[in-house]
Chains A and B, each alone.
Chain A
Amino acid sequence: MKVMITGASGYFGNLLAERLRADARTAATVVGVDVREKVVRGDEKDVKFIHGDTRKKRIEDVFKIEGKIDAVVHLARETDPALTSDHLMITNVYGTFHMLELARKYGVRKFVFPSSSIVYGAREDNPAMIRENHPLLGNRDIPAIRDRVEADLICQTFAHSAEDFNIVILRFAPIWRRAGAGILSDYMSGDTVPTLLGFDPMFQIIFEEEVIEAFILALANARAAGAYNVPGSVFMPLSEVVRRMGKKTLPLPEFLVHYKYRFFWSKNLKFDFNYIKYPFTVDGSRAREELGYRPEEIGRERQSAPAQQRL
């Protein structure tokens, strides 16, 4: 199986390239594409790396040179809030559209797109377990969330556009990463984590091993297609998540945390406060039944890891 990974220099790009080659279920030849320089990690030196930009027409050459590519994993994305909203939109939304078009044109059988459970939006009338057919009501005012919703919708519109072209959308719960920045890691970076006074929604967290496992299952399973919610093994109230990480919550009244009043913690909170006010927990039964995704079994090897990593 030949897999093209866009955004291969990123955190998950690196991790995935290594695991897709090593795992017997995929045993993939990996072609990594990124605008940044290649970041070598561990022993994955024989991953083929191509310098390319998903937004540019030139990226088509990769498909021409590499010949038959079986699957595309589209990880290329920008989330830096310092960039303009327009720039983010071109990368995240147009970039996805462009790669989908090329994948269809060159007969790629599978397109895996990582989305997030935040696309459903955190709203007061959310069901306790959101299923895949729930409307995507994420907050469009925040560019990072808007782009995820739009890219997710674009993937859905491509779903039945060609014979034997399967698009897998993996809607991950908030991802806890060992290193590097992410929305969740940023939010919980300090020793005290601001929360909203009187609100303690149920919260899901997925670990990186579980994320990688979901990608492998999506690639290895020939019939996988459509959107899948991918919750992790952690399902507990937000305050307990924070407590188990050995941190303290700082419950603040809502009017203080309102965007007009956020002073010193604004760097830690790049998202809508509704995400720490209302639950946006997802039902992973479709991934469980169709992909065989079992987060609780993957988590076992983590039991001996340091407290902060295993919650």
Chain B
Amino acid sequence: MDDHKKLKPRHFFDGDAKKFVRGKVLRSDAGAAEGVYDPFGLDVETIVSTITFLLFMYRFYFRVEVHGIENIPDAGPGLIVSNHAPILPFDACMIGVAALVEPEHPRFVRTIINKTISSIPFASTLMSRSGQVIGCDENVRLIFENKNLMLVFPTGAEGRVHSVITHRYRLDTFPVGFMEYALRYRTPIIPACVTGSEESAMALGSIPLPRGGFRHFPITPIFPWLGPLGLIPFPSKFDIYFDPPVDYFTEHAHEVDNPAKVRPLVDGLHDRIQAMLDGALGR
């Protein structure tokens, strides 16, 4: 079986889906082998189980539709830049699953995560075993040297707290860091956007926390009122859009150390992704 669309719900219980995911992971560029850990701690067993669960969500819960999957390159490094919805990162998971199961050549996406996650019990272990990466220069260099795909959410932790439901699909200003990496390591940028993610967890507001990387405690119609159950997302329909890769580095690689020159590029990309979002939402 090589098409995930043929998978029926029962396949997720009799092991066929797991076999399908295992085949995709081993054929992908994750650099994974059974029983061997990669530098980031990626473990095949963990990602196969995690992605099988996420594929179920992808197919039957969020009913993801992908537009422009041909824009994911068959090989070589790439930097996917997308919008991000608050609370749990299901948008990141769905982009990762899409890049693995949809194209002919499966790609394994490494998401840049907030360093605070590494001090949260269980989450830190899960992120490490599934090959997700804390954003710092050495890690980014390693990803691009291995010619992997990297996913960043430039609005990140700060942007998420502002993206309450009244502010949905409005991007905050991007920082310049990711564009500097793209220029320094000569990597094309793939603009992407996800719709439906904001409705799956409707953040009504947040309470500022005194310390730590997550400086805000989110409030939704069901969280924290229902406890951990309140973190279950609503089954809204996801749409993922990929635009053709944009090559910034041939023209601008020499400007990498000049933030004043990088800033307009970042703002241009911001406007482009905002336009993609507006187009996708029809507003």
A226 interface contact, C-beta 8 A: no
In the complex, A277 Cα to B119 Cα: how many Å? 8
Residues of B within 8 A of A196 (CB): 121
**Smallest CB separation, A262 vs chain B (Å):** 18
B53: min CB distance to chain A, Å: 19
**Are A254 and B136 neighbours in the complex by a CB distance under 8 Å?**
no
What is the bound-complex CA distance between A253 and B121, given in angstroms?
Answer: 9
Q: Are A128 and B122 within 8 A (Cβ)?
A: no
Residue A279 interfacial (CB < 8 Å):
yes
Residues on B with C-beta less than 8 A from A283 are 39, 138
**Cross-chain contact A128 with B125 (CB below 8 angstroms):** no
Q: Once the chains bind, are B138 and A254 in contact (CB under 8 Å)?
A: no
- A246 in contact (CB, < 8 A): no
Contact of B134 among A125, A197, A281 (CB under 8 A): A125
Could you tell me if A129 and B142 are in contact, using CB atoms closer than 8 angstroms? yes
**A residues within 8 A CB of B134?**
124-128
Say yes or no for A111: interface residue by CB 8 A criterion.
no
Contact B128 A124 (CB under 8 A): no
Q: How many residues of chain B get a CB closer than 8 Å to chain A's CBs? A: 24
Q: Taking the nearest CB of chain A, how far is it from the CB of B165, in angstroms? A: 31
CB of B46, distance to nearest CB on chain A (Å):
10
Which residue of the partner chain, among B43, B119, B124, B138, contacts A129 with CB atoms under 8 Å?
B138
- In contact, B125 and A200 (Cβ under 8 angstroms): yes
User: How many residues in A have their beta carbons less than 8 Å from beta carbons of B?
Assistant: 26
Question: Which chain B residues lie closer than 8 Å to A199 at the CB level?
Answer: 121, 124-125
Known contacts A124-B116, A129-B142; A201/B128 CB under 8 A: yes
Q: For chain B residues 108-131, which have a beta carbon within 8 Å of chain A?
A: 115-116, 118-125, 128-129
Q: Report chain A residues within 8 Å CB of B60.
A: none
Q: Who on chain A is nearest to B137 by CB?
A: A127
Query: Is there an interface contact between A130 and B116, defined as CB atoms closer than 8 Å?
Result: no
CA A129 – CA B128 in complex, angstroms? 13
Most buried by A among B43, B129, B133, B138: B138
**Bound-state Cα–Cα, A130 to B134, Å:** 13
Q: Is the CB of A128 within 8 A of B116?
A: no
Measured between beta carbons, the chain B residues less than 8 angstroms from A202 are: 37, 39, 41, 128
- Contacting pair A128 B139 (CB below 8 A): yes
Task: Determine how close the nearest CB of chain B comes to the CB of A235; give it in whole angstroms.
Answer: 6
Provide the bound-state CA to CA distance between A201 and B126, in Å: 10
User: Does chain A have a CB within 8 A of B185?
Assistant: no
Complex interface bits, A259-281 against B, C-beta within 8 A gives 1, otherwise 0: 00000000000000000011101
- Complex partner residue of A281 from B39, B43, B115, B123, CB under 8 angstroms: B39
Q: Are A278 and B118 in contact (CB under 8 A)?
A: yes
For window 198-235 of chain A, which residues contact chain B by CB distance below 8 Å? Answer: 198-202, 235
Which residues of B lie under 8 Å from residue A279 when comparing CB positions?
A: 41, 128
Indicate with 1 or 0, residue by residue over A147-159, a CB within 8 angstroms of chain B CB atoms: 0000000000000
**Of the residues B37, B119, B138, B139, contact of A237 by C-beta under 8 Å:** B37
Residues of B within 8 A of A200 (CB): 125, 128-129
Nearest CB in chain B to that of A133: its residue: B138
Residue of A127, A253, A278 touching B138 (CB-CB under 8 A):
A127
| B115 contacts A124, C-beta separation under 8 Å | yes
Q: Give the residue of B37, B128, B136 whose beta carbon is less than 8 angstroms from that of A127.
A: B136
7 pairs, CB–CB < 8 Å, chain A vs chain B: A124-B116, A126-B134, A128-B134, A129-B39, A198-B121, A198-B122, A198-B123
- Residues of A in contact with B (beta carbons under 8 Å apart): 124-131, 134, 196-202, 235-237, 253-254, 277-279, 281, 283
